[in-house]
Structure 1
Amino acid sequence: MKKIDKAKTFLSEQLHLFKCPVCQRSFDALDGYQLSCTHNHSFDLSKKGTLHFLLKPSKSEYSRPMLLSRQRIAKMGFWQPMLDTLYSLIENINGVALDVGCGEGAHSAYLIEKGLAGPVIAFDISKEGVNLGAATYEDIFFLVADLAQSPFATEQFDTILNILSPSNYEEFNRLLKPGGQVIKVIPGKDYLKELRAFQPKENQSYSNKEVKDKFMTHYPKASEHAVRYSVDLNDEEVTDFLNMTPLGWHIEASEKEIVSLHHITVDMVILVGNKPQ
């Protein structure tokens, strides 16, 4: 089945998950490959099986070469220990999951391999990221969208995944079913410390206190799960590692200094909160 037809089938079955980002009304018709709301705002499925819901142009630093580097790093297993822990924390693996700021979709794809079985919708403001994800992974419905004007219906989602991406907790609570989960992944103080060593001195240290405190304000009963491990990279992977994150884009290091990047510390915190019943 072509991607556009697979996406059409998904939309037909899951139309209740979406709302028009222009007028906030529900979508009531899928005519061919065009989705229309009750006020006749329409959005067309692309040949890649994606929908573009951005209401105005959005600049993104995510170039295709950067995203390909990020995808290769994901495929070599860089994030797997963190994602294994995250998967164990999902309360409803058969529920509807929303991946907020999905990039090229590798995190959701791995979680589906682990056993995440319900519908998975992933979105990002980066059209390049969404296109790469849609071209690579079969079981995720990809959208180009903005969290500030999200095209999703109220109280339809069981799990929101917020992995190293911006948050909007008021919007998360609107989207979640009562009792639904927000699972947010943030850096720990030693996250990528080998790479931070190349930054200006004022940027070499990191504190997640402000981000964590904000999460806890919205979800006072949230749980916190530390994940720490190291990853060994070969020369090609070091190049991809430098390309995949803004921290690496402007580094000019000698060959001797680059050796320090062959062994990377991944220090992260997974925060899990539930919308009140």
Structure 2
Amino acid sequence: MKKIENSKIFINNHLDLFQCPICKDHFTPIQDYQLVCSNHHSFDLSKKGTVHFLLKQPQNEYNKDMLQSRRLIAEDGLWYPVLKNIVSEVNCKNGVHLDVGCGEGSHLQHLIKLGLEGTNIGFDISKDAIQLASAEYTNAFWCVADLAQSPFASNSYDTIFNILSPSNYKEFDRLLKPGGQVIKVVPSEKYLIEIRELIGKNNTPYSNKDVLNKFYQHYPNADRITVSYDHNLNSEMWEHLLNMTPLSWNIEESNKEQLILAPSEKITIEMEILVGAKD
């Protein structure tokens, strides 16, 4: 079956999970591959089975080359221990899960491999990212959307994954069912410290204190898990890592080439997993 047909079936079976991002009203069953709300705002299904919910195209720095590097470094296992810890924290593994800022889909895909079941939806503001996700991974529904103008229905989601992406806690609370979880992942002090040292960004140690404080303001009883390990790299993966991390985006090209020619054999991953629940 074609991807567009699969997506049509998925949406028609899960209309209750979506709302119009313009008027916030419900959608009617899809006819002719077009998602239409009760006020006649419409969104087309693409041939790849995705839906573009953005009302305007935002600026983002995620080009196809960077996204391909992120996929390759993800499939090399860079974040696998973090993701293993995440899935162990999910209370309702057979529930409805939303990956906020999913990028090219590799995190959600690996969570599914680790035993995440139920209904899985990933979205990102980057059209290129969602095209890559939908081309590679078929066991989740992918869409282009903005958290600030969300196409997702209230009180409908058991789990929100917020992995290395911006948050909107008011929106998270709207989307979650009572007792639903927000699982947020943020870098800690030693995350990619080898790159920080090489490009001279470690004079002032990285701090996630403000991010942690904001999370605890919304979820004062949240759990916090620190995950720290080294990941071995070959020269090819080192180059992909430099290409995908924002740490290297603003350095001069000549300096980046020097970094590529002097690969590190390992990289430090240190992250905080924050688990909060809606009252």
Alignment TM-score, normalising by the size of structure 2 = 0.95
SS of 1:35's equivalent in the other structure is: strand
Contact persistence 1:96–1:118 (CA under 8 A)? yes
Shift of 1:45: 0.3
Give the length in aligned residue pairs: 276
Match of residue 265 from structure 1: 268
Shift of 1:197: 1.1
Shift of 1:215: 0.2
Shift of 1:70: 0.4
Match of residue 162 from structure 1: 162
Shift of 1:204: 5.0
Q: Name structure 1 gaps, 5 residues minimum.
A: none
Shift of 1:261: 2.4
Contact persistence 2:235–2:263 (CA under 8 A)? no
Match of residue 234 from structure 2: 234
1:142 matches 2:142: yes
For residues 21 and 256 of structure 2, the distance between their equivalents in structure 1, rounded to whole angstroms, comes to 45
Shift of 1:60: 1.4
The CA RMSD measured in Å over matched residues stands at: 1.5
Trace 1:55-134 onto structure 2 (pairs within 5 A).
55-134=55-134
SS of 1:191's equivalent in the other structure is: coil
For residues 185 and 254 of structure 1, the distance between their equivalents in structure 2, rounded to whole angstroms, comes to 30
Contact persistence 1:197–1:204 (CA under 8 A)? no
For residues 129 and 98 of structure 2, the distance between their equivalents in structure 1, rounded to whole angstroms, comes to 16
Per-residue CA distance 1:7-33 (angstroms, 9 max, x = gap) = 111001101000000111111231121
Trace 1:220-231 onto structure 2 (pairs within 5 A).
220-231=220-231
For residues 259 and 236 of structure 1, the distance between their equivalents in structure 2, rounded to whole angstroms, comes to 12
Shift of 1:259: 4.0
Query: Sequence identity, in percent?
Result: 53
Match of residue 179 from structure 1: 179
For residues 122 and 271 of structure 1, the distance between their equivalents in structure 2, rounded to whole angstroms, comes to 19
Which amino acid letter does the alignment assign opposite residue 274 of structure 2?
L
Contact persistence 1:196–1:205 (CA under 8 A)? no
SS of 1:148's equivalent in the other structure is: coil
SS of 2:241's equivalent in the other structure is: helix
Match of residue 196 from structure 2: 196
Alignment TM-score, normalising by the size of structure 1 = 0.96
Per-residue CA distance 1:201-230 (angstroms, 9 max, x = gap) = 477521010000000000000000000001
For residues 256 and 185 of structure 1, the distance between their equivalents in structure 2, rounded to whole angstroms, comes to 27
Contact persistence 2:238–2:263 (CA under 8 A)? no
